[in-house]
Amino acid sequence: MKNYQHFQEKINYNFKDTLLLRNVFVHRSYLNERKNFPLPSNERLEFLGDSVLSLVISLYLFKNYPCLCEGDYSRIKSLLVKAETLAEIALSFNVDKLLLLSKGEEKMNGRKNKNILADSLEALIGAVFLDSNFEESYRWVTNFLFKDKLEKIIKNQDYQSFKSRLQEKVQAKYKTLPEYQVLKEVGPEHQKVFRVGVFIKGKKYAEGSGRSKKEAEEEAAKNAFVNL
């Protein structure tokens, strides 16, 4: 229980129901080797936490950023709830050290698996919700768990597409717009890969590839944005 106490200090939340907390770390693989283990896997908590997190972030953005549009909300939320972001937060709390995994998952470095870590963080959010209420969960997620990341994304406008960000930069610097040209198409009709170049005043600044022209243009814009 000493490890759990230290963990609760790190996450700035003390559980009334410690069984809920323990359940957060039970990966389904662990139960394959321990049929009589008293707790289920964390999958149900993960399912609940995913929904709670989505609602909390949606409500926070709606209440605090009325100037943004629905598309901005969706892009910000997708940046916050993606596996890489959740796994990074989970590692900052040392969730990996408390995970209960099978021997097979241990061998495959499951403690650093971004999906396992992300799922565990969602399970933690679900557990906090069950242990308290929506209002307290909302405060915990927005004031502690995601506050810095939310503010950074919005301040840096990371939620904007690179095509939008490149266009703003090019307009300001060159008083013109970037142009995109398909340089190459390879593969059969149903599996085409497009290679696109982005040009500014006739000069090619970067290239990008993707399964669609839109995807290739976005990658080209990202590469050009970095180059500029």
Distance, in Å, from the CA atom of 213 to the CA atom of 222, rounded to the nearest integer, reads 14
**75 neighbors 159 (Cβ within 8 angstroms):** yes
168 is catalytic: no
50 is catalytic: yes
Q: Active site residue: 50, 119, 217, 218, which one?
A: 50
Residue 109 DSSP SS3: coil
Least Cα distance to 94 among 30, 4, 1 occurs for: 4
**146 neighbors 79 (Cβ within 8 angstroms):** no
Residues of 75-111 as b/e, b for ≥16 C-beta within 10 angstroms?
bbbeebbebebbbebbbebebbebbbbbeebeeeebb
**77 token code pair:** 């939320």
For tokens 């969706």, name the residue.
74
**177 neighbors 167 (Cβ within 8 angstroms):** yes
Q: Active site residue: 122, 131, 217, 218, which one?
A: 122
Q: How far is CA 96 from CA 106, 144, 182, 194, 200, in A?
A: 11, 20, 44, 39, 46
**186 token code pair:** 């390879």
Q: Which residues are catalytic?
A: 50, 122
